[in-house]
Structure 1
Amino acid sequence: MPHSIKAEQSPRPIGIPKTKSSSSRELRKLHLLHNEARNQYIQSNLYLTVTRLLETKNRPAVSRIVSLGLGSLKSTDQTRRIKQLTILLAIAEQLRQYETKIELYAQDPSFSGTDKEFLQSLGVHILSTPSPTELGEAAQYIDDSTLVYCPFLTLEAYQLLFSSAESLNFFIGDDFDALRTKWPKHSMGRDEAESLLRKYVQGFRKRAISSGDGFWDAEDKPFPMAMYSSASHRYQSKQVEVIL
C-alpha cells in the first residue's frame, strides 16, 4: 500500500531452504520485469518530464543517490515497486551524463536476500537499518550533494527523514500539496501532512512531476510526485558548462 513503511516479508514454508536454482529463477524474473518496465518508462510522458526537470540549471549538484522505502521487490505490489526502481535507475543513468562517479544506494528494512542480490547486480549498494523507525546507515550518506529518492513513504518515515537528515538538500518524493489532501480535513493524517509541509517542505523549491500516463497502471495505486530542491543551492559551475 502506498505510503506504508510496514516491513513486508514474503512467506516461505518453514523447514524448506531456498535453493540456488530457485534464487536464480527469481533473479531472472526480476531482470525480465525490470527490462519490461524500462522499455515502458522510456516511452512514457513521465520519462520526458523527469528528464527535463533534471536538466534544469538550478538543481543541486549530485554525487550520490539514496533510495528510501523501495520495499521488497517480491511483495504483493511487485509491479509498482519494480516501476519505482526503474525510475530510480533511469535518474541515475541521466545524472551520470554530467557526473560519471555518482554512486547509488538503497535502504529498506524489508529487503530480502534476493532483493539485495538483484539490486547489487544493477550497481546499487545496500544500506541497512535496524528498524523502520530508524534512519540507519542512510543518515551517514545524506549530505548537500545527495539526491534522496523516496516516493510512497509514510508520514512517519518522512518525519524521520526530515528530522534526522540535517543536510537534506534535494529529494524526489510525494507531492506534499497533493499528499495533505489524501486525508479528510481535521483528521490526524491531514494534520500530520500539513505539519510536515509547514515545518520542513515549504523551504524547498518544488517542481511537480506529471501523473505518468502511459507508465503507471491503476493497480499500481500511483500518487503525484514532485522534485524538491533547496532554494539556497545551485548547479556547480562545471555542471552548467556541460549543459550549455
Structure 2
Amino acid sequence: MPATTPVWDPHQYLRHSGHRARAFLDLLARVPDLPAAGRPRVADLGCGPGNVTRLLAERWPGAHITGLDSSAQMLAEAEPLAGPTPGGGRLDFHRADVGTWTPAEPYDLIIGNATLQWVPGHLDRFAAWVDALAPGGTLAFQVPGNFDAPSHRLMRELAASARWRDRLDGVLRHEDAVHAPAVYLEALTGLGCAADVWETTYQQVLQGEDAVLDWVKGTGLRPVLTELGEEAEAFVAEYRLLLREAYPAGAHGTVFPFRRVFAVARTHG
C-alpha cells in the first residue's frame, strides 16, 4: 500500500460514479461465462462502497459474491447491500488487504476495479489468484493508465516542491504504479492463462467548477488529504490553479481524458 494509507470518502468517490463505473462495465462485458453457471463464487477486489459489486450480482444472479476492501469507511457504505440477492445469490463484504489476500477456497471469478494501482508489486499476486481459480475460471481487472497525465504529474510535482516535499515525500504513487499492457499480457500468459489485454481512453466531459479537482479528490488526491489533514487546504489551493490551466473549462464542461488498461485472463478448463 502507499506510504500513507488514504482515508477514503465514499460520498466524494460516488460523486462521479457514472463515469467511474463505465470502465467496469466495459471490463464486465468481456468476462466469459463462468464454470459454475448456476452459483459461481466471485471475489471483488477493492470493492469500495459496493456500487459495482451490485453489477456482478446482476450479471450472475445466483452468485455468492464477496467484496474485499481495506477501508472501513468504504465497507460501512457497502454493508447495507449485504445479504441475499433477488436471484438467489448472496453479497457479503469483508475487510482485507488486497496486497496480501490469498484465497482460501476456489473462485470462478476474481475481479478488480481500479484497485491494483494501490497495490505495489501486484504482478507478484497473480500466481496465487490464478491458482485459486476453478478450471475455466477468470481473473479480470482494470486500472488507470493516466499516471503521466497532467492531473497526476502536476500533483507529484507540487508534492516535490520546496514547500511540500518534507511532508509528502514518498506519499504519492509514481508512474510505475501501473504497468504497460504488454507487461500484463506477458505475466498472465506466463501463468498459463488465455489473456486478453487492451487499453481505452475515454474523453470524459465533467461538469461543475474545478471539475477535475473534484474528480481527483475522490481517488488520487486521497493520500495527500490524509497526510496533510488541516494543512491540505493550502496544497489544494495551489493544485487547483495548476489544474485550471491544464484543463480549461469549455462551453459544455471540462474534458478529462481518462486512459484505462484492461485484462481478462481465463484458465484452461
Identify the match of residue 167 of structure 1 among 113, 132, 135: 132
User: Where does residue 35 of structure 2 map in the other structure?
Assistant: 61
Aligned length: 180
Which of 7, 10, 20 does residue 9 from structure 1 map onto?
A: 7
Instruction: Determine the C-alpha separation between the residues in 2 that align with 1:5 and 1:66.
Output: 26
Q: Distance in 1 between matches of 2:24 and 2:46?
A: 21
Offset, 1:88: 3.4
- 1:64–1:145 Cα contact (<8 Å) kept: yes
- Segments of structure 1 that go 5 or more residues without pairing to the other structure are 11-25, 74-84, 234-244
Mapping of residues 42-191 of structure 1, within 5 Å: 49-50=26-27, 52-54=29-31, 58-61=32-35, 63-70=40-47, 85-96=50-61, 100=62, 102-109=63-70, 111-112=71-72, 114-123=73-82, 124-129=91-96, 133-135=99-101, 139-141=103-105, 143-154=106-117, 156=120, 158-165=122-129, 166-168=131-133, 169-174=137-142, 189=176
Structure-1-length-normalised TM-score? 0.51
Contact 1:175/1:225, CA 8 A, preserved across alignment: yes
Q: Distance in 1 between matches of 2:189 and 2:45?
A: 17
Question: How much does 1:162 deviate?
Answer: 1.0
1:204 aligns with 2:194: yes
Unaligned 5+ residue runs, structure 2?
A: 83-90, 150-173, 221-257
- Quickly say closer, same or farther: Cα 1:121–1:140, change in 2 above 3 A: same
1:61-87: per-residue Cα shift (whole Å, max 9, x none)? 36132122345x6xxxxxxxxxxx433
1:93 aligned partner, one-letter code: E
Report the Cα offset of residue 231 of structure 1: 5.3
Structure 1 pair 4–191 and aligned structure 2 pair: CA distance change class (3 A): closer
TM-score under structure 2 length normalisation: 0.47
Residue 208 of structure 1: how far off its partner (Å):
3.9
Distance 1:95 1:6, change over 3 A: farther
Aligned-residue sequence identity (percent) comes to 8
Residue type at the aligned position of 2:57:
A
Higher Rg of the two aligned structures: 2
Contact 2:200 2:260 in 1 (8 A): yes
Q: Distance in 1 between matches of 2:188 and 2:147?
A: 14
Residue 170 of structure 1 aligns to which amino acid in structure 2? Answer: T
Structure 1 residues 84-134: Cα deviation after superposition (integer angstroms, max 9, x where no partner): x433322331222xxx2x12212222x22x4323212112422334x5642
Post-superposition Cα deviations, 1:12-45, rounded to whole Å, max 9, x if no partner, equal: xxxxxxxxxxxxxx9xx85x985x766x469x97
Residue identity opposite 1:60 in structure 2: L
Where is the strand percentage greater, Structure 1 or Structure 2?
2
